[in-house]
């Protein structure tokens, strides 16, 4: 592709800068419309990655994702320059990424370079080489930029995040406060694994440097007892190791959470482990596991310094933080779980719009539901019909697995299990099947609530065939001894044996007697 055609893309290239202007303002100047396909090129100290996001959605789809572990910063501590071999590999990867972006018709392509390029003597030279060879302009992020973008990424996938975000790259560690949907103060520290591996004096000297550096960031850490959000490949590898060892029932890393003392014990053990021994346990690449012990050493020091109550893993970080800058305020305010559920209903359900009616119709069954539970009920109702075209014998299993594998954010692991369980009961309740191990994440009371919702969804869908416009004229009334389904004048003809059978199942769950009345 010629250079002029690259420049002609709406928002596709931007001038290199050490401070990040608002992408939204740049976008408004360059194009009358928001981009629908955004690519982010992340040039880090250890890896170079291209992620393409499809559509401006609060839970965007990952259209494409490719990573190359180049080790650009592997020699930074010794030479002050980028690793020559890493430069060659990175440049080759970026040429491919530019070509892929053209083939995929990416509307906007943002390139971000972090600590290694920022600090290397030949960093600016490398940025110029990339521009000449690929047409990609790399914006060089300051440490504060990097901390802010990582925190924005956490907020993108975790809107109610409240605590300290820690983003570990190959050459640096960024810390930033988040809370009430906003990003607070951030700081960067020279604690990346590639840098620490070159510290003379072994583990004792490394621990001393970690402790001293973290001591300078006390003002950002906040009070003990909060939540620590982890961003970075080394820490995701730790989470994968724990999942493998404990036979954890889910493989989704986002919002995986452990008590701080349990994560500390794991980090202290792995800090002194041999990468080859970890490779026999952890489902991660050898290149990633080579730096995981040092990443664990940093994490152990961080937990001891911050003293959080819980440690959680975020699959979203700097790249999602860049995408977040494209979002108008109205989109940022959306609930990512409900936004994704509505979009899934729009694409896959027989009658989009029925889910919202169904959610309003089942509320009387859950008068004591908290706000957090109500959003799960609404999400389940929106997703109730997305597996309609699966084989009838496997709809319950298919919808359960779909919830677990879906690209959902703003939902914890137990919450995923609850939505999946409700949708499983929406069909045949998995009669005769072995229960999913993921149900072990739920208490007996939560499982009972999921069963009630699933049976209610099954009833509501049966009344009208999942077609909108009927349920608003009907009602469910919970009495002291009876559960009454009242069909409005326009729904009288829909009464039947099957409807009564489904009503009886819901009433049985509540230990009530079913009644069906028509106007």
Q: What is the CATH number of the domain that holds 497?
A: 1.10.3210.10
Domain of 266, in residue numbers = 144-319
Q: What is the pLDDT of residue 434?
A: 61
Measure the CA–CA gap between 503 and 495, rounded to whole angstroms.
Answer: 11
Q: What is the pLDDT of residue 3?
A: 36
Regarding whether 431 and 458 lie in a shared domain, the answer is yes
- Do 131 and 150 lie in one domain? The reply is no
CA distances from 52 to 40, 119, 125, 209, 368 (A): 6, 27, 26, 37, 42
Domain end, chosen from 126, 141, 156, is at 141
Two tokens at 233? Answer: 């490949």
Residues 6+ apart with CB under 8 A from 287: 69
Tell me if 302 is assigned to some domain. Answer: yes
Whether residue 149 sits in one domain with residue 112: no
Q: Is residue 225 part of a domain?
A: yes
Residue 78 and residue 165 in one domain = no
Report the distance separating Cα 494 and Cα 487, nearest Å: 8
Question: Are the C-beta atoms of residues 340 and 402 closer than 8 Å to each other?
Answer: no
Burial of 407 (0-12, 13-18, 19+ CB in 10 A): middle
Residue 170 main-chain phi, psi, to 5 deg: -70, -30
What is d(CA 271, CA 294) in angstroms, rounded to the nearest whole number? 6
Could you tell me which residues come within 8 angstroms of residue 69 by beta carbon, excluding any fewer than 6 positions away?
46, 47, 285, 287, 288
> Which of 142, 297, 174, 165 has its CA nearest to residue 234?
297
Name the residue among 84, 37, 103, 43 with its Cα closest to residue 67: 43
Q: Are residues 191 and 73 in the same domain?
A: no
Residues 369 and 473 in one domain: yes
Name the domain boundary from 96, 123, 141: 141
CA 157 – CA 143 distance, rounded (Å): 22
Q: Are residues 365 and 407 in the same domain?
A: yes
CATH number assigned to the domain comprising residue 200 = 3.30.420.150
Q: Is residue 330 part of a domain?
A: no
| pLDDT of 398 | 75
Provide the pLDDT for residue 81: 95
Rounded Cα distance, 310 and 197, in Å: 28
Distance CA(497)–CA(500), nearest Å, equals 5
Burial class of residue 367 (count of CB atoms within 10 Å of its CB; 0-12, 13-18, 19+):
exposed
Q: Could you list the pLDDT tens digit for every one of the 519 residues in the chain?
A: 333 333 333 333 333 333 454 333 334 334 445 678 999 999 998 899 999 998 777 888 889 999 998 989 889 888 999 999 999 999 999 999 999 999 999 999 999 999 999 999 999 999 999 999 999 999 999 999 999 999 999 999 888 899 999 999 988 999 999 998 899 989 999 999 988 988 888 999 999 999 999 999 988 988 889 999 999 989 999 999 999 999 998 888 899 999 999 999 999 999 999 888 888 887 777 777 888 999 999 999 999 999 999 999 999 999 999 999 988 888 888 999 999 999 889 989 999 999 999 999 999 999 999 999 999 999 999 999 988 888 887 788 777 777 777 777 889 999 999 999 999 999 875 444 566 788 889 999 999 999 999 999 999 999 999 999 999 999 999 999 999 999 999 889 999 999 999 999 999 999 999 999 987
Q: Same domain, yes or no, for 135 and 88?
A: yes
- For residues 20 and 136, membership in a common domain is answered with yes
- Asked whether residue 325 is domain-assigned, the answer is no
292, 319, 346: which is the final residue of a domain?
Answer: 319
Beta bridge mates, 187: 175
Q: Are 292 and 46 in contact (CB under 8 A)?
A: no
pLDDT reported for residue 433: 59
Asked if 110 and 187 sit in the same domain, the reply is: no
Q: How many domains does the chain have?
A: 3
* CATH code, domain carrying 94: 3.30.420.40
């Amino acid at each position: 592709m010629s250079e002029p055609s690259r420049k002609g893309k709406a928002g596709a290239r931007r001038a290199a800068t050490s401070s990040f202007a608002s992408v939204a303002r740049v976008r408004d100047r360059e194009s009358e419309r928001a981009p629908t396909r955004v690519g982010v090129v992340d040039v880090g100290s250890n890896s170079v990655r291209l992620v393409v996001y499809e559509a401006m959605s609060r839970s965007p789809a990952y259209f494409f994702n490719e990573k190359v572990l180049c080790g650009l910063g592997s020699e930074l501590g010794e030479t002050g320059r980028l690793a020559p071999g890493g430069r060659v590999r990175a440049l080759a990867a970026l040429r491919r990424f530019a070509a892929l972006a053209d083939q995929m018709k990416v509307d906007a392509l943002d390139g971000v370079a972090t600590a290694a390029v920022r600090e290397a003597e030949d960093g600016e030279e490398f940025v110029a080489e990339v521009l000449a060879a690929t047409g990609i302009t790399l914006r060089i992020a300051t440490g504060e930029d990097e901390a802010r973008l990582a925190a924005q990424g956490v907020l993108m996938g975790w809107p109610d995040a409240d605590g300290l975000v820690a983003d570990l790259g190959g050459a640096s560690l960024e810390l930033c406060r988040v809370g009430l949907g906003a990003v607070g103060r951030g700081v960067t520290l020279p604690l990346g694994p590639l840098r620490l591996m070159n510290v003379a004096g072994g583990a004792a000297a490394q621990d001393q440097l970690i402790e001293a550096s973290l001591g300078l960031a006390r003002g950002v850490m906040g009070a003990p007892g909060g939540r620590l959000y982890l961003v970075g490949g080394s820490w995701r590898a730790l989470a994968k190791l724990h999942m493998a060892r404990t036979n954890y029932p889910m493989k989704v890393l986002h919002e995986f959470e452990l008590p701080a003392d349990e994560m500390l014990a794991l980090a202290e053990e792995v800090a002194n482990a041999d990468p080859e021994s970890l490779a026999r346990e952890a489902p991660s690449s050898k290149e990633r596991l080579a730096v995981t012990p040092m990443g664990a050493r940093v994490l152990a020091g961080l937990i001891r310094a911050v003293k959080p109550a819980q440690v959680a893993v975020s699959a979203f970080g700097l790249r999602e933080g860049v995408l977040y800058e494209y979002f108008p305020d109205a989109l940022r305010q959306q609930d990512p779980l409900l936004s994704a559920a509505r979009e899934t209903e729009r694409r896959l359900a027989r009658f989009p719009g029925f889910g919202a009616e169904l959610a309003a119709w089942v509320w009387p069954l859950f008068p004591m539901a908290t706000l957090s539970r109500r959003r799960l009920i609404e999400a389940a109702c929106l997703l109730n019909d997305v597996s309609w075209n699966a084989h009838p014998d496997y709809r319950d299993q298919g919808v359960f697995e779909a919830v677990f594998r879906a690209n959902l954010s703003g939902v914890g692991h137990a919450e995923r299990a609850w939505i999946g369980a409700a949708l499983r009961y929406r069909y045949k309740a998995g009669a005769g099947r072995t229960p999913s191990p993921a149900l072990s994440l739920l208490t007996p009371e939560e499982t009972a609530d999921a069963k009630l919702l699933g049976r209610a969804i099954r009833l509501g869908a049966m009344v009208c065939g999942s077609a909108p416009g009927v349920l608003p004229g009907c009602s469910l009334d919970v009495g002291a001894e009876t559960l009454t389904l009242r069909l409005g004048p326009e729904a009288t003809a829909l009464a039947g044996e099957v409807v009564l059978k489904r009503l009886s199942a819901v009433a049985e769950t509540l230990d009530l007697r079913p009644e069906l009345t028509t106007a």
